[in-house]
Structure 1
Amino acid sequence: MKIKNILILATLSTTLLFSCTKLEEEFDDSLSAVAEDDIDPQSILQGAYSALNTPFQDQSRFWAAQEHTGDAVIGPTRGADWDDNGVWRVLHNHRWNADHGFLRDTYRELQQTQYFSTNVIALSAASAQQKAEARFIRALSMFCTLDGWDQVPFREGENFEDLTILPETKKGVDAANFIIAELEAAVASLPNGPMIKANKNAAKALMMKVYLNKAVYKDRTKQPAAGDFDNADMARVIALADEIIASTDPKYSLQASYFENFAPNNSAISKEIIYALENTPGVRGGNVRSRWFAQLHYNQNPSGWNGFATLSDFYDKFEEDDDRLVQSYPGITSVGGVKVGFLEGQQFDQNNVALKDRKGAPLAFTREVKLTETGDNLEITGIRVVKYPIDYVSGDQSDNEYVIFRYADVLLMKAEALLRSGNEAAARDIVNEIRNLRGVDDFTTLTLDNLIDERGRELYWEGWRRNDLIRFGKFLDAWQEKPASDAKYLLFAIPNEQLAVNPNLTQNPGF
C-alpha cells in the first residue's frame, strides 16, 4: 500500500514545512506517514481552507502588508501602547528588512497554505471537485506571495513527496502565467457556490487580478507606466468580468446597503460577495473581529484595542453624502452606540450619552494623527474605521464572513481594463453605476487618478490598497507621516529564515 507524506495535525519544524527544505531539519514526533486509503480528502481540504484564516484575517499578516503600507491605514504608537518594536511604523514608512516579524510570518503562512492545498491535489482519493478547490486555494496563496515577494517556492508531484528535493522558485510573469493556468484547469470542476467555497466565479475574479497586474510583474524594479499594460491582458480582464456579470447561478448585483456586505449575516443577505472565508461559530473561523477590535477605544462597546486609524487625507477623498463614509447600522448602533464606516469626533453609547477616554476627557476622535503619539490626547488621535458591523452575539468567534472578492471589485477591474484600453466612456459608465448607488454624483470624465481614488473609496480596508497603488504608479509617493520611498520597497524582503533553508531563493534587490 502506497504511503503518502500527508500532514496529520503535524508540526514540522517551521522552516521545513513552509520552505520544504532538506531532511536534515528536525521533525517533531507528531508527523506520521499515513496510508492513503485511511485519509479523508475532505478533512485535508478543510485544513487547506482553515490555513487561509491567519494570513488573511489576522490584523498583522497579509492585510497589514497590503494596508499598513498604503495611504489609508496608520498604526500609531500611543505612548507605551502599540509599539511592537516599531513594526507598524516600519510598514507605514516603507523601511522593512528581511527580519520584519509580521512579514516573515505572513510569507511562511502563505507557504503553509500552499502545502496543505498540494496535499489534497496529491491524493488519488480526492474527487475532481476537491482537487479543483485545492487548486484555487493554492493559486490564491501563490498570488499573494507573488504580489508581495515575487518569489514563490513551489513543489508538486514526486518533488512534493521527496522532501530532500528543494522546491523550485517561480517568479514574475512566469509565476503569473502558472497561476492563470492552474485556475483555468480548475474552473470546470469547481462548483457555482456557495460563496464560502472555492467556486467558478472566485477563480475568474482571481484570474482578473492576475491579468490586471501582469504589467507589474514584468519588472519589479519600477512601477508600471501606462504603456506597459498589454491590450490582450486587458481584453481577458474584460471577458472574465463579462462572464461573472452574466452569471445567473448565482446572480450578482451591487448591494444597496453598502455595509451589508460585511455584516454578521452577510452570507445570507449580500448579493455582491463572490468569495469569502467562512466564520461560523463552533464550525470554522478566523480573527474577523480584529476588523473592529483593533480600532475601537477601550471605553467603547465592545472594548477595543485602541490602535489603528485612517489618515485625514484619505478620509477627505470622500464626499459628504457618500454612503460608504459613515452610517448607523441596525442592531449595532442601537446595542453599542458604534456606527459603521469612519468614526470622527465625539463618540456616544447606545443611549446617546457622550463617552469619555480613560482620563475623563471627551472621547472625540481627531483628524490629526502621528506615527508616534505623545501627550494628553494620544488615546483619541486618528479617525477610526469599522468596516465590518460588529457581531455582538457570537463573542470572539464572530459570524461575519471575511470578504475576499466581491462584485463591485469585478466591475471596477473591468472599468480599469476598459480605461487602459482606451474606452473611457464605457469605463466611466461602470464607475458611475457604483457611485450612483453609493449616493454621490457622476464623474464627467474618468481618469486613472480618479479611478484609483474610487477604488480606495469602494474597497477601503479590504486588503487591496498596496496592490492598487503600485499598479497605478503611486506607491512610492510621499503621503501623511511617510516620505517618498525607494523603489526597492515595491517588494518585501525574502525573510532570512527562508533564505537560510532554501538556496533556490535569492534576496530581493536592495535588501
Structure 2
Amino acid sequence: MKNNFKILTLSILSLVGVSSCTDLEIEETDSIISDGFQGLADPSSTVTNLYGSIAGQYADQGNFFALQEVTSDEHLIPTRGGDWGDNGLWRVLHTHDWDGQHAFITNVFQQWNGNQLQASQVLDSRSNPSTTNIGDASFIRAYSMWVILDNFGQVPYRDTELPSSSVPEVLTGQAALDFILADIDMAIANAPATSAGSGEANLRASKAAARYLKAKVLLNKHIYLGTAPEASDMAEVISLVDEITAEGYALQEGYFDLFLPDADTETIWALEANTINKIVMGLHYNSTSIQGGGWNGFSTLAEFYDLFEGDSESNELDADQNPVDGQEERRGGVPTIGTAFAGQPYASDNNGFVDGSNVGYGFLINQQYDLDGTPLQDRQGAPLTFKRDFKDGAGNVNFINNDETTGIRIQKYAARNGEASISHQIVFRYADAHLMKAEAMFRSGGDPTAMINELRTIRNTQELLGTVSEQDILDERGRELYQEAWRRNDLIRFGQFGRDWLFKAEGTINNDDYNVFPIPQAQLLANPNLVQNPGY
C-alpha cells in the first residue's frame, strides 16, 4: 500500500510539473477526460466476439469451472509428487481456504464483468444495435451479471453513457435481480424462437435459453435476498419450463450421446467451446495418446461416486460397452478393450480400434486398459488402477504426496470422440430445466416424484423412488448434471455448501460466509462502492 501511494504521488507531481512548464494540450480522445463511450461501429462483431470469449471461459478447467466444481464435493485435485501443487492453488478451493488474492477468483470477477460491459456497449443506442443484437447482448449481460451476483453477491455496473472515469455503481439484492430480470425479459422479446433439435442454432441466445436463465435466477432468488422461496417465483419457474417444453425440448435417451455435436432435444444452449481440457484433465498420462496423454489431475470423492447405482467397488463394461456391475447409465464404466474402428462419426482409426475407446465414459475406477485389452501401467510400472482413496506414500489419507493412481476419474466428454467433437460444450440443458421444475413444485408444496422418476426411467436406473425428499432432488441433480458447472450453486441452494467433506478446512464447515467469494483486493481499491464480503 505504501509503495502504491508513493507511485501515485510521484505520478501526480510529474503531471503538475509538466503543466507548469508547457502549454499541454490533451487530445479529446484521452480516456481521462473524454465524455466516454461513443458507440460501436460494428455491434454484430462485438456480439460474435462475446460468444467467443464466453466459450473460452467455459473451455478452461480453471477459473469459472474450478470455482463451481472444485469448491464442491464433486471435484478435487490432489498433489501427486510435484504435479498439481501450484502453491496450493487447487487445494484451497476444495478446502475452502481461499482468499481475495486467489488467481481464479480475480479472473472470474474480471472476465464476467468484462462480458457485461461489452454487452452494455452493444445495447447502447449509439451502437445502433439490431433486434438480433439486442436479443444476444441482453441475454449475455443478464447471464454475466447473474454469474457475478451468484459468485460475489454484488455486481458493479458501468453506465456506458457516463464518462469512462466514472466509478461503477454496485447492485446487490433486489436491485441486482431487477436489473438482471429486466434484461432477460428483453432477451425473451428479441431473441429468436429456436426449436429443439435445431443444432447449431443453439449456439446463440434463443427465447428458450432466456426462459431457462430466468427460471434459474428465480429458483435462486431467495438465496440472494436471504428469504424463503416465494410461491409466485416457484409458479413462474414451472410456467417458464412449460414454455420451453412447448417448443419441443424434451428428455432424450442416450445420456452420453447428448455431449456430442449432434442435434438433440435436450440442448438449449451450447457453445463452440473446446472440450479437450475436460477430457484430459483427469486422465493418467498413459490413459490415451490423444493430445499427448492425460494431465492426471482432477478426481472425485468416493462419496459423490456412491450417489450412483451400482457396485461401489467396480464399474466395468463388457466388450460391447454394456455395464456389468449393476451401474446406472449415467455412471458409465471402464471398458476392458477398445472398440473396433468401423468409420464411426467423430472417431479416428488407431490400428483397427477407435482411438481413445479404451477410455470409458462417466466414472473410471480400478484397472484401466489399453486398446488391445492389455492392462495399463503407471509411469513406475505399477498397475494403472484408479482408487477410491487419497493416500500418501505412508498409507495415510492425505491431500498431498499422492501417487499417480489415487482418485476416481470423470469422463463426460469422451476421449473416443477425439478431436472432431471438441467444439461443442453444453451450457443449458433441458434435463436441468426438468429438474428445476420438479424442485419448484417441491418448494411450493407439490409432489415431484413422477417427474424425478420420469428422468430416472429414461436414464435406465434400476430403482424408482416411492417419494421424493429435498435430499433426493439434490442427489438427482448431482447424478444428472455432474461436471456441468452447477454443483456449487446447487449445494448453496440446498444449504449444503458448508457441510463437512474430505479435506474441508475445519474453520469453514457450516460457515455461510463462504457461499460467496471475496471481492478481489484490486477491485476494492479501484471502486469504493464495492464492500468486502463478510468473513474476508
Moved more, 383-392 or 162-171: 383-392
Task: Name the CA shift for 1:174/1:202 in 2 (closer, same or farther; >3 Å).
Answer: same
**Unmatched tracts of structure 1, length 5 or more:** 1-22, 280-286
Sort the Cα spacing of 1:105 and 1:262 in 2 relative to 1 into closer, same or farther, 3 A.
same
CA contact (8 A) 2:355 2:416 kept: no
d(CA) in 2 for partners of 1:374 and 1:83?
A: 10
Q: Distance in 1 between matches of 2:432 and 2:216?
A: 10
CA offset at residue 392 of structure 1?
5.4
Amino acid at match of 1:75: I
Determine if contact 2:39/2:121 at 8 Å carries over to the other structure: no
Q: 1:218 aligns with which of 225, 233, 236?
A: 225
Secondary structure (helix, strand or coil) at the match of 1:274 reads strand
Paired residues of 1:51 and 1:112 also in contact (CA < 8 A): no
Residues 31-64 of structure 1 show CA distances to partners (whole Å, capped at 9, x for unaligned) of 9x99868x22211111111221233221111111
Identify the residue that residue 236 of structure 1 maps to in structure 2: 236
1:47-99: per-residue Cα shift (whole Å, max 9, x none)? 11122123322111111111111111111111110011102111111111111
What displacement does 1:192 show?
A: 2.1
How far 1:374 sits from its partner (Å)? 2.1
Q: 1:388 aligns with which of 410, 413, 435?
A: 413
Q: C-alpha distance in 2, partners of 1:308/1:439? A: 27
- Cα distance change, pair 288–393 in 1 and its aligned pair in 2 (3 A): closer
Residue 232 of structure 1 aligns with an amino acid whose one-letter code is: S
For residues 13-412 of structure 1, what are the structure 2 equivalents within 5 Å? Answer: 39-122=41-124, 123-159=126-162, 162-193=163-194, 194-219=201-226, 228-247=228-247, 251-263=248-260, 265=261, 268-279=262-273, 287-301=274-288, 302=290, 303-320=293-310, 321-327=327-333, 331=347, 334-336=354-356, 337-369=358-390, 372-374=399-401, 378-390=403-415, 393-394=418-419, 399-412=422-435
**CA deviation after TM superposition for structure 1 residue 351, in Å:** 1.4
* Equivalences, count: 455
Q: 2:503 is matched with which residue? A: 481
Q: Tell me how large the CA RMSD over aligned residues is.
A: 2.3
Say whether the 8 Å CA contact 1:292–1:388 is kept in structure 2.
yes
Q: Which amino acid in 2 is paired with 1:492?
A: F
Distance across 2 between alignment mates of 1:129 and 1:215: 32
Identity %: 42
Contact 1:114 1:142 survives alignment (8 Å): yes
More displaced stretch, 295-304 vs 117-126: 117-126
Match of 1:98, SS? coil
Instruction: Look up the equivalent residue of 1:352 and give its one-letter code.
Output: G
Change in CA separation of 1:95 and 1:118 when aligned onto 2, cut-off 3 Å: same
Q: RCO higher in 1 or 2 (8 Å CA, sep ≥ 6)?
A: 1
Cα distance between partner residues in 2 of 1:230 and 1:392 = 44
Q: In 1, are the aligned partners of 2:271 and 2:423 still within 8 Å (CA)?
A: no
| Alpha-carbon distance between aligned partners in 2 of 1:101 and 1:185, rounded to the nearest angstrom | 34
Query: Conserved in 1, the CA contact under 8 Å of 2:121 and 2:127?
Result: no
Aligned pair 1:433/2:470, yes or no? no
- Structure 2 residue ranges without an equivalent (≥5): 1-25, 195-200, 311-326, 392-397
Deviates more, 1:320-329 or 1:431-440: 320-329
Shift of 1:288: 2.0
**CA distance in structure 1 between the aligned counterparts of 2:432 and 2:523, rounded to whole angstroms:** 33
Contact 2:42 2:127 in 1 (8 A): no
Deviates more, 1:482-491 or 1:188-197: 482-491
Do the aligned residues in 2 keep the contact of 1:241 with 1:411 (CA within 8 Å)? yes
Residue deviations 1:376-417 (CA, integer Å, cap 9, x gap): xx100000001112375537xx53411111000000000000
Distance 1:116 1:382 in 2: 41
**1:406-425 pair list within 5 angstroms:** 406-424=429-447
* Residue matched to 2:518: 493
Shift of 1:149: 0.2
Structure 1 residues 393 and 364, CA gap change in structure 2 (3 angstroms): closer
Q: Secondary structure of the equivalent of 2:363?
A: strand
Secondary structure, aligned partner of 1:276: strand
Whole-angstrom CA distance in 1 between matches of 2:39 and 2:416: 41
Q: 1:391, 1:400 within 8 Å by CA — same for their partners in 2?
A: no
Q: Which amino acid aligns with 1:260?
A: D
Task: Kindly provide the CA deviation profile for residues 208-259 of structure 1, in whole angstroms up to 9, marking residues without a partner as x.
Answer: 110000110013xxxx7xxx11101101101101100111xxx222121101
**What is the letter of the counterpart of residue 269 of structure 1?**
A
Deviation string 1:311-367 (CA, Å, 9 cap, x unpaired) is 100100100231000146874883221111000011112211111100011111001
One-letter identity of the residue aligned with 1:137: I
Q: Normalising by the residue count of structure 1, what TM-score does the alignment of the two structures yield?
A: 0.85
The amino acid across from 1:325 in the alignment is R
Residue type of the alignment partner of 1:167: P
